[in-house]
Structure formats: structure tokens, C-alpha cells
Amino acid sequence: MKILILSLLFCSQVYAVEKLVLTGSSTIAPVLSDIAKSFEKKNSNFRIDVQTGGSSRGVNDARKKLNDIGMVSRKLKDSEKDLSVYTIAKDGIALITHSENSISSLTETQVKQIYRGRIKNWKEVGGQDAAIVVVNKAEGRSTLELFLKFFKLKNSEINASVVIGDNEQGIKAVARNPNAIAYVSIGTAEFNQSVGTPIRLLDFKGVKASVKNVENGSYPISRELNLVTKDKPNSTAKLFIDYVLSKDASSIIREHYFVPVLKK
């Protein structure tokens, strides 16, 4: 047993490899760990460790040099312009309801009123007579930030019945409740719809919520998926970022229902 432990402890010193640590957005983490794996297969002396924690953590860790690359699933704020940014993909946010709900689109004002708690019944926007169950995201999620910014709302104004963390949780909450409304990543919503989860993606400003419309830029509520570094990235980080922006990686990004941004 002792020998086993000692040998395990020493292993890391024997095989010195180039290591990169990424932390940040839980939206980006699964797709990047997939890309990292395919990168490691091609470059066997690299180890890319992808961790999570949320976009804000990605920014903070990059500043404190606790990671090599941070993952941020929103546009960088003005106060964050000290970091170098690489946009790797785009993602839209869709408003979703249960597929039994007859509503197929809502206006900007209606969405605002629903989330503020002014409109409390689906009847008021032309639906069935039932109370609206408002699903909101937890503080610190980039989907929440994008949603608030787009609809010019404050989180304190929102009158939510359910507060959730991840996209999948939002979809589960709506799929179980015919009177719920939530906002989640379009890619995730489209995938769930394609496998038969009973949800409906609402049109917004006459544009269908779909990955295609995010790609061509016609769908308005969308966000960027970014990688950030403190200074100019070192050669290892640069190599990996270039790979993420390459054609090889874009097929993996599509597999995760995001829209890749190719390097120009």
C-alpha cells in the first residue's frame, strides 16, 4: 500500500508535461473538456484540465492567475477589458413553455410584465386560464445577466416562483409544469425538443428561436462564449486557443448545440 502511494506521488514528477488549467462557465465546460480531449489525443505531452465554477469565477481566476484560461459565457463588461478575449462560439437564449401551452410568441413588454409579476395569468396574454409559474435563474449565471440586460430588468424586480441553476434544470422545470415559463440556452432547448421533451420555444420579434437564426444573427437574444487570459496567452495557451478556433473543434462545438465562430 505504502509503495503504491509513494509511486503515485512520484509519478507526477517523473512525467513532466505541459499543463493548462481552465476554470469558469459551466455552460462552456462540457464542450471545452471534449475539445481538450481531442487536443490531447493529437498532442500527447499536453494535459488540459477543464474545471467549472461560473463565468465570474473564470474572470476572477484569470485575474489572480489561478487559471491559464478563463471561460466566460457572456460579453465582457467594460470593467473586464483588462483581459484578452477570444470569442469561440455563440449561443442564443430562448423563452420556453410547455408544449401544451397554446401561446407561441410573446412581446418584449409581455415578457417583462410576466417576470415582474404584473401579468399573473396566461389568460391575460391570450392563453388558458391558469396562473403563470415564473422560472428564474440563480444569481451569477450568465444566462440571467444576459436576460436582465436584454429586457432591461433588475433581478430584484423579478417575481419568480422557482429559481434554478443550470439549463437542464430549467427545461426539467418547464417540462413538468404546463403553466411554467423559463429562459434557457437555445441549443439545449432545441436538443431537448428534438428528443421529445414537451417544451415549446417561443418566437421572439417574429424570429423563430433556433440555432440557425443565432448563426445568421437574426435572433436578437444571443450571447458570446468567450475564453479570457490575463496577459497575452503563453505559447501553450495560444496553441490550445488556436485549436479551439480551428475547423477540427467546430464540429465538436456543433455537437454541443452551440454556433462556432471560426477564426478569420
Binding site for other proteins (CB under 8 A): 5, 8-12, 15, 21, 26-27, 29-31, 33-34, 37, 40, 47, 49-53, 66, 165-169, 187-188, 191-192, 195, 255-257
Phi, psi of 74 (to 5 degrees): -160, 170
Q: Report in angstroms how near the CB of residue 26 gets to other proteins at its nearest.
A: 5
CA 88 to chain centre: 12
User: Whose Cβ is closer to other proteins: residue 32's or residue 180's?
Assistant: 32
Euclidean distance between the first and the last CA atom of the chain, given in angstroms as a whole number: 54
Considering beta carbons, is residue 27 or 213 the nearer one to other proteins? Answer: 27
* CB closer to other proteins out of 21 and 148: 21
Cell of 213: 437564426
List residues bridging with 71 in a β-sheet: 24, 227
Least distance CB 159 / other proteins (angstroms): 24
Residues 6+ apart with CB under 8 A from 130: 121, 122, 123, 178, 179
| Least spacing, CB of residue 29 vs other proteins, in Å | 6
Find the shortest distance in angstroms from Cβ 250 to other proteins.
15
CB of 8 to other proteins, least distance (A): 5
Spatial contact of 52 and 23, defined as CB atoms under 8 Å apart: yes
Question: Smaller CB distance to other proteins: residue 29 or 132?
Answer: 29
Strands, E assignment, the chain: 18-24, 46-50, 69-72, 84-98, 133-137, 162-164, 180-185, 199-201, 222-229, 259-260
**Backbone CA torsion sign across 116, 154, 112, 144:** negative
Q: For residues 94 and 106, which CB has a smaller minimum distance to other proteins in the complex?
A: 94
